[in-house]
């Protein structure tokens, strides 16, 4: 996605959708190892799962 497409997408988002995106960005930044999964129903995100792994040193 280029900058123009990013701006077009940002212009079309509701405040609630913008808040969800910020939450997802925060979760991704917090995880060192793991995953963030979006659960979607009827084209809408209904759940966000965060699964964090802890790596043990030998």
Summarize pLDDT for 11-36 with one digit per residue, the tens.
777 888 888 889 999 999 999 999 99
Count of structural domains, the chain = 1
Is position 27 within any domain? Answer: yes
Is there a contact between 2 and 11 (Cβ–Cβ < 8 Å)?
Answer: no
Is position 24 within any domain? Answer: yes
Tell me: the pLDDT tens digits for 36-47? Answer: 999 999 988 899
pTM: 0.64
d(CA 36, CA 34): 7
Domain that holds residue 43: 15-58
- For the four alpha carbons of 4, 6, 12 and 18, in that order, the dihedral sign comes to negative
Which pLDDT does position 50 carry in this prediction?
94
């Amino acid at each position: 996605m280029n900058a123009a497409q990013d701006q077009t997408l940002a212009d079309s988002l509701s405040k609630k959708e913008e808040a969800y995106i910020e939450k997802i960005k925060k979760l991704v930044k917090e995880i060192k190892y793991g995953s963030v999964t979006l659960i979607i129903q009827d084209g809408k995100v209904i759940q966000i799962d965060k699964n964090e792994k802890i790596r043990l040193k030998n």
